[in-house]
């Protein structure tokens, strides 16, 4: 049985969504953020030394880092939601799978952290927004060309990208001026598996 160590309001919501899409049985262990620091509680460090979420356990095997977990689950489900057969789609699949945490999340996170610094923080976030806009424009242009990030079918790349899109919607300036991206997010949120994951995960401010 898979155990998902799930931190409220966090990237691990993606893993619940993916498990629901795959129909794999799982259990959730919930963790609350420290109200003052917003950091994960120290108990998560007992599961994995980084103490971050998501982290899963599957028959004693601990897997951390969203992208690694997502690939692990694709393997476990015999390739379901994995790379499409078409080469161009497969390359896009790989690109977005890495891009989500590797390129798009860092400036979004930077903006969040800077915004919390009194006085100077607000001014600093203005410098970050143009960096985020480069990503938002690129995502919009790609989503205007095809229904899902890799191609015609939904894949794990869409699951990876859902969190940066949600984070951009809540604090990165993503709005109706980028209709293809907004439509993609709405399509994701309407999926029964997404809603099922949300119901099981508890508080989540981005959906």
Ligand X SMILES: N[C@@H](CCC(=O)N[C@@H](CS)C(=O)NCC(=O)O)C(=O)O
Contact positions vs ligand X (CB under 6 A)? 7, 10-11, 39-40, 52-54, 65-66, 101
CB 23 within 8 A of CB 192: no
Q: Which is closer to ligand X, CB of 51 or CB of 151?
A: 51
Q: How far is the CB of 166 from ligand X (least distance, A)?
A: 11
Q: How far is the CB of 120 from ligand X (least distance, A)?
A: 23
Q: Which is closer to ligand X, CB of 11 or CB of 92?
A: 11
CB 172 within 8 A of CB 185: no
DSSP 8-state secondary structure symbol assigned to residue 82: S
Q: Which is closer to ligand X, CB of 48 or CB of 151?
A: 48
The separation between CA 122 and the C-alpha centre of its own chain, rounded to angstroms, equals 25
CB 3 within 8 A of CB 59: no
Q: How far is the CB of 136 from ligand X (least distance, A)?
A: 20
Q: How far is the CB of 134 from ligand X (least distance, A)?
A: 20
The secondary structure element, H or E, covering residue 31 is strand 26-31
Q: Which is closer to ligand X, CB of 53 or CB of 151?
A: 53
The residues facing 63 across adjacent strands are: 56
Between the two ends of the chain, the Cα-to-Cα distance in Å is 27
Q: Which is closer to ligand X, CB of 20 or CB of 166?
A: 166
Q: How far is the CB of 110 from ligand X (least distance, A)?
A: 13
DSSP 8-state secondary structure symbol assigned to residue 86: S
How many Å apart are CA 128 and CA 11, to the nearest integer? Answer: 21
């Amino acid at each position: 049985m898979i155990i998902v160590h799930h931190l409220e309001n966090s990237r691990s919501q993606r893993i619940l969504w993916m498990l629901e899409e795959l129909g794999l049985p799982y259990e959730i262990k919930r963790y609350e953020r420290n109200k003052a620091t917003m950091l994960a509680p120290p108990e998560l460090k007992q599961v994995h030394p980084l103490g971050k979420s998501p982290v899963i356990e599957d028959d004693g095997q601990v897997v951390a880092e969203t992208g690694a977990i997502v690939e692990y689950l694709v393997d476990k489900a015999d390739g379901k939601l994995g790379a499409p057969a078409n080469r161009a789609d497969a390359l896009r699949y790989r690109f977005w799978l890495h891009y989500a945490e590797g390129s798009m999340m860092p400036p979004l996170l930077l903006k969040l952290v800077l915004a919390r610094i009194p006085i100077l923080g607000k001014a600093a976030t203005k410098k970050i927004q143009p960096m985020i806009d480069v990503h938002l424009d690129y995502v919009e242009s790609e989503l205007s060309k095809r229904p899902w990030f890799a191609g015609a079918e939904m894949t794990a790349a869409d699951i990876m990208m859902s969190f940066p899109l949600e984070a951009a919607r809540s604090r990165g300036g993503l709005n109706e001026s980028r209709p293809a991206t907004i439509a993609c997010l709405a399509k994701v949120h309407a999926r029964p598996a997404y809603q099922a994951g949300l119901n099981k995960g508890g508080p989540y401010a981005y959906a």
